[in-house]
Structure 1
Amino acid sequence: MTVAEELADLPYADLLRPHTGPLAVDGDYDTVHFDRLSFEDGEAAGGSRFLESAVTDCVFSGVSLRRSRFNDLWAYGTRLTGVSLAETNWVDSALVGCSLAGVEAFGAVLRRVVLRRCKLDSVNLRGAQLHDVAFEDCVLRDVDLGEAALNGVTFPGSRLERVKLGRATLKKADLRGAVAVDLADGYDSLRGALISSTQLLDLAPALAATLGIVVEDG
């Protein structure tokens, strides 16, 4: 999936119109540009639809976007803190240089989504479905992927720190490009993942402990 690095590179850039005012529940945002806006606690846009829209240098704090749909959304330099993205649906979208902290995204469905140079801290993706999702040069710290389904997910240049994978299902999930893989749990869920020989050596002690293998020289 080709990802635009600048707003002008979007195929629908010339159609965008600026957004003004608050967000609305069940809102319909088609070819809308959210630029340098702040949305604070109490605002809600649950069940909304975002189509071919752009979000640049915005701040979302304590906002609910639960069960919203994002099709061809492009977000750049945006910060999301304590935002509810639970049960949202994402298709053909990209987040570039964004920061997500304390975000609830359990039960979300992501298809053909790219996260590039993003920081994810304490993001709850429990039970989410990720299909053909790429984390490029990202940091995933204390991210919960427990019971999630990862199909065709890649992590080139990314760091995984204390990531939870308990009872997750992996299919063609490629960890070979990750610069660090540190799991808080779920080593047994790595079945179906692709890892490098170096990563296997790094993970060997934890894998042995998970399988009950005693490694002892002598």
Structure 2
Amino acid sequence: MPLADQPYAHLLQPHQGPLRRDQRYDTVHFDGLTFDGTQASGASFLECAFTGVTVSDARLRQARFIEVWLEQSRWMATDLAESEWQDGTLLGGVFAGIAAYSSQLRRLTLRQCKLEAVNLRSAVLREVVFEDCRLRDVDFGGAKLTDVSFPGSSLEQVRFGGARMDKVDLRGASRLELPDGHEGLRGAVISSAQLIELAPQFAQALGVLVRDV
């Protein structure tokens, strides 16, 4: 579904100027803008769209993103800790060096996004879909994941140590590379092929020595 088909698309107004701390933004379109070093902690974005936007070295701690559309946007070295994301769509974006620990993500779809060095420790994810995404060095340590899936996504050096999972489906992942924290997969569903691939790591984590002779 393109942005034009969103129920609030006809209400969007172009944004000008910087982002401000604790400001509320309703039906605003951020298009082709660059926010470098922005201090906008506590800001709220309701039915907003971000297209072709670059956010770097910014601070948006405890910001709220409700019913947002992000397309072809780049978020780098940004503090999004304790932020709230709900009913959003993220398309073709890049998220690198992001601190999003203790955040809440509900009913989100991420499609063809790249996430690298993203800290989601102690976050809560519910009804989140990572579709055809690349997750590299993403940390879900201590996070709570419910109804989360990864169809077509590549998980490289992703950590789930101490995570709590319920109805998490990893079967569709094109790659599942976990350096540690295998016990955090309790409650997840994986395929038989993934089990075979991960078997040596499971054995090592359990302290099981495997020998054929």
Counterpart for residue 15 of structure 2: 19
1:67 CA displacement: 0.2
1:212 CA displacement: 1.2
Q: In structure 2, what is the Cα distance between the partners aligned to 1:88 and 1:44?
A: 14
Deviations 1:60-97 (A, max 9, x none): 00111110111100100000000111000111011100
2:104 aligned with 1:76: no
| 1:204 match: secondary structure | helix
Q: In structure 2, what is the Cα distance between the partners aligned to 1:129 and 1:15?
A: 31
1:170 CA displacement: 1.1
Q: In structure 2, what is the Cα distance between the partners aligned to 1:163 and 1:37?
A: 31
2:196 aligned with 1:196: no
Counterpart for residue 182 of structure 1: 177
Residues 153-172 of structure 1 aligned to structure 2 (within 5 Å): 153-172=148-167
1:28 CA displacement: 0.6
* TM-score using structure 2 length: 0.98
* TM-score using structure 1 length: 0.96
2:101 aligned with 1:101: no
Q: Which amino acid aligns with 1:18?
A: P
Residues 124-143 of structure 1 aligned to structure 2 (within 5 Å): 124-143=119-138
Q: In structure 2, what is the Cα distance between the partners aligned to 1:94 and 1:185?
A: 30
Q: Which amino acid aligns with 1:161?
A: E
Considering only aligned residues, what root-mean-square deviation do their CA atoms show, in Å? 0.7
Counterpart for residue 48 of structure 2: 53
Q: In structure 2, what is the Cα distance between the partners aligned to 1:185 and 1:128?
A: 18
Q: In structure 2, what is the Cα distance between the partners aligned to 1:160 and 1:24?
A: 35
Counterpart for residue 91 of structure 1: 86
Deviations 1:88-128 (A, max 9, x none): 01110111000000011000000101111000000000110
Q: Which of 13, 17, 34 matches 1:38? A: 34
Q: In structure 2, what is the Cα distance between the partners aligned to 1:109 and 1:213?
A: 37
Deviations 1:156-184 (A, max 9, x none): 00000000111111111100000000012
Q: Which amino acid aligns with 2:69?
A: W
Where structure 2 has 5 or more consecutive residues not aligned to the other structure, the ranges are none
2:206 aligned with 1:211: yes
What is the number of residues matched between the two proteins? 213
Q: Which amino acid aligns with 1:143?
A: V
Give the % identical residues: 52
